[in-house]
C-alpha cells in the first residue's frame, strides 16, 4: 500500500512538473494570463501616475502580446507606440555581451585572453592576475564600484573614467567576486574594436542589428535626441513625490556605450529576445546561448536586497551580460536598466522559452514589479508583489478587459486611443527583417 501511495505521489509530481512543457501548453498559458497582465499594468500605471510604457510578451517565434500604454511626455497628448524610441540603459549590457560571445565563437577574439592583448596600455593596480573580457562581462573584474557611478554622473571625460579605474587598487582577484561596475563594463567597446578593427556600431550592425532586423536600434546620445518618435524621461519630485518630465536626457552614461549607451524601440528588443530564446539560430547558435546564459558568479548582495520583497527568489547571480535568479524553483534570466528617468526591463524563462520586455520612461519600480507579476501569473505561484497587493485593495471598480486583444502575433491597441500601428504592419515589419 505504501509503495502504491508513493507511486501515485511520484506520478502526480511528474505530471505537475511537465504541466507547462510543450509549446502548445505554454502558448495557452500565456493567452490565459494576458488579460491579468494587462489589468495589472493599467492599474499600476494609474496608481503611480506614470506617463506610460510599452510591453511585449514573446516566444521564440511568437509575439503573444504587444501594447503601448500612455503618453511620451506628461502634459502632452502624443501617444506611445511600439515604434517609440527609449533609452536602453543597462539593458545595453545584454546586447554587448551577446556581441562579444558571437565574436568569440567566430574566432575574432577570446573571452579568456587578457585584455592587455587588445589594450596594450591598460593595467590593473595591485594584481598580476590578468583581467579577461569574461571577467568584465560577468562583473568579476575585482574592482570596487564604490563611487564610480557618481563619477560617470558627473559627466567626467571618458579618459578620466579609465585613468581612475587603473589607479584604483583591486579589491579581489579577477573572477572571484561580483561587483557591478558600469565603467569597467564600458571597456567591452574598446576590446572589441581593437580586436576586430571595426567600430563598435559597425560590429553591432553587422552581427546583431541587421541580421535580427533591429532597424531602429542605435548607440549614442545624439541618436536618441534626434529621434522624432521618442519617449521623454520623467523624474520624481523629492518634495511632492510626483512624476514630472526631466529637464533633459541622461547624457553621462553614453560615455560607456557598451554598458548603458544604446537606444531603440520594443520592435528592436522583440527579435533580440526571441534570439535569446533560440528562435534565431542562424544569428545566435545554441553554443552562443549556452555560454551567454551559464552562471559565472553568485550575487549574495543582490539576493539580500530583493528577497525580502520577493520571497520566492531563492538564489541570484550573473552570467555573461545577464543577471539570473531562481524564482519559485525556475531559472529566470533578466536585466534591468536605470538612467535618470528611464527604467527598461527584459526577462525570460529559458526552460519555457517565454519572455517579457518592458520599456518605461519614469523613475518608478514599475518595470521590475510588473516582471515579477508576470512570473507569478505564468508560474502559478502566489503573488509576491506587495505593491500590487496594496494596489488591488484600493481599487474600487474592476478594470474591464480590453476586447481588442488578438492572441498569437498579438497587438493591443494603445489604451488611450486606437492610434497604434495595426497588427498587419507589425507582421510586415518582422517579415521584412533579414533572416
- pLDDT score at 430: 52
pLDDT, averaged across the chain: 87
CA distance linking residue 16 with residue 10, whole number of Å? 10
Mean pLDDT of 180-191: 98
Percent over 90 (pLDDT), the chain? 75
What is the Cα–Cα distance from 168 to 73, expressed in whole angstroms? 41
d(CA 173, CA 27): 45
User: For residue 70, what is the enclosing H or E element?
Assistant: strand 63-70
pLDDT (0 to 100) of residue 400:
37
Report DSSP state, residue 79. Answer: B
Neighbours of 429 (CB within 10 A): 17
pLDDT, tens digit, for every residue of 83-141?
A: 999 999 999 999 999 999 999 999 999 999 999 999 998 888 877 789 999 999 999 99
Q: Are 235 and 244 in contact (CB under 8 A)?
A: yes
Q: What is the DSSP string of 233-257?
A: PEEE-TTT--EEE-SS---GGGGSH
pLDDT, tens digit (0-9, with 9 covering 90-100), for 299-324: 998 898 898 899 999 999 999 999 99
Q: Are 94 and 106 in contact (CB under 8 A)?
A: no
Which pLDDT value is given to residue 240?
A: 77
Greater confidence (309 vs 425) lies with 309
pLDDT at position 17 over 50: no
Cell 552570467 belongs to residue? 319
- Highest averaged pLDDT of the listed ranges 2-16, 55-69, 151-165: 55-69
Pick the more confident residue, 406 or 110. Answer: 110
Among the listed residues 374, 377, 385, the one whose alpha carbon sits nearest the alpha carbon of residue 311: 385
**Bridge pairing between strands 218-219 and 262-264:** antiparallel
pLDDT band for 406, please (50, 70, 90 cuts): very low
Domains, the chain: 22-99+198-430 (3.40.710.10)
Q: How far apart are CA 250 and CA 171, in angstroms?
A: 29
Q: How many other C-beta atoms are found inside a 10 Å radius of the C-beta of residue 144?
A: 15
The model's pLDDT over 187-217, given as tens digits with 9 standing for 90+, comes to 999 999 999 999 999 999 999 999 999 999 9
What pLDDT is stored for residue 394 in this prediction?
A: 45
Q: Can you give the pTM of this predicted structure?
A: 0.86
Q: What is the pLDDT of residue 186?
A: 98
C-beta of residue 348 within 8 angstroms of C-beta of residue 356: yes
Which of the pair, 409 or 411, is modelled with greater confidence? 411
The answer on pLDDT for 385 being more than 80 is no
Rounded CA-CA distance 176/187 in Å is 19
Amino acid at each position: 500500500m505504501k509503495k502504491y501511495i508513493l507511486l501515485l505521489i511520484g506520478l502526480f509530481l511528474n505530471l505537475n512538473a511537465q504541466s507547462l512543457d510543450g509549446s502548445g501548453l505554454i502558448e495557452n498559458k500565456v493567452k490565459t494570463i494576458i488579460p491579468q497582465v494587462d489589468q495589472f499594468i493599467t492599474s499600476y500605471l494609474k496608481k503611480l501616475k506614470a506617463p506610460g510604457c510599452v510591453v511585449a510578451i514573446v516566444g521564440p517565434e511568437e509575439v503573444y502580446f504587444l501594447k503601448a500604454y500612455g503618453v511620451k511626455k506628461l502634459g502632452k497628448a502624443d501617444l506611445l507606440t511600439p515604434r517609440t524610441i527609449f533609452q536602453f540603459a543597462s539593458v545595453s549590457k545584454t546586447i554587448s555581451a551577446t556581441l562579444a560571445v558571437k565574436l568569440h565563437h567566430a574566432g575574432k577574439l577570446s573571452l579568456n585572453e587578457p585584455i592587455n592583448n587588445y589594450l596594450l596600455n591598460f593595467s590593473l593596480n595591485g594584481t598580476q592576475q590578468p583581467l579577461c573580457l569574461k571577467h568584465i562581462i560577468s562583473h568579476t573584474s575585482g574592482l570596487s564600484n564604490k563611487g564610480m557611478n557618481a563619477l560617470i554622473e558627473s559627466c567626467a571625460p571618458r579618459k578620466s573614467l579609465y585613468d581612475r579605474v587603473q589607479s584604483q587598487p583591486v579589491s579581489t582577484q579577477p573572477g572571484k567576486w561580483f561587483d557591478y561596475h558600469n565603467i569597467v563594463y564600458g571597456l567591452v567597446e574598446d576590446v572589441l574594436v581593437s580586436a576586430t578593427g571595426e567600430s563598435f556600431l559597425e560590429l553591432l550592425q553587422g552581427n546583431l542589428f541587421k541580421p535580427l532586423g533591429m532597424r531602429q536600434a542605435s548607440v549614442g546620445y545624439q541618436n536618441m535626441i534626434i529621434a522624432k518618435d521618442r519617449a521623454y524621461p520623467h523624474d520624481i519630485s523629492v518634495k511632492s513625490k510626483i512624476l514630472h518630465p526631466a529637464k533633459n536626457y541622461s547624457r553621462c552614461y553614453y560615455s560607456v556605450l557598451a554598458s548603458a549607451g544604446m537606444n531603440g524601440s520594443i520592435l528592436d528588443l522583440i527579435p533580440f529576445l526571441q534570439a535569446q530564446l533560440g528562435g534565431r539560430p542562424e544569428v545566435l547558435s545554441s553554443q552562443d546561448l549556452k555560454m551567454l546564459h551559464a552562471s559565472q558568479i553568485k550575487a549574495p548582495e543582490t539576493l539580500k536586497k530583493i528577497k525580502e520583497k520577493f520571497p520566492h527568489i531563492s538564489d541570484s547571480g550573473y552570467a555573461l551580460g545577464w543577471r539570473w535568479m531562481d524564482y519559485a524553483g525556475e531559472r529566470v534570466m533578466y536585466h534591468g536598466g536605470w538612467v535618470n528617468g528611464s527604467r527598461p526591463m527584459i526577462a525570460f524563462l529559458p526552460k519555457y522559452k517565454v519572455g517579457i520586455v518592458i520599456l518605461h520612461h519614469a523613475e518608478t519600480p514599475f518595470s521590475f514589479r510588473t516582471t515579477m507579476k508576470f512570473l507569478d501569473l505564468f508560474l502559478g505561484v502566489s503573488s509576491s508583489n506587495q505593491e500590487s497587493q496594496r494596489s488591488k485593495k484600493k481599487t474600487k471598480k474592476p478594470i474591464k478587459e480590453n476586447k481588442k486583444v488578438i492572441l498569437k502575433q498579438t497587438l493591443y491597441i494603445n489604451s488611450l486611443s486606437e492610434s497604434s500601428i495595426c497588427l498587419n504592419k507589425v507582421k510586415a515589419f518582422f517579415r521584412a527583417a533579414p533572416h
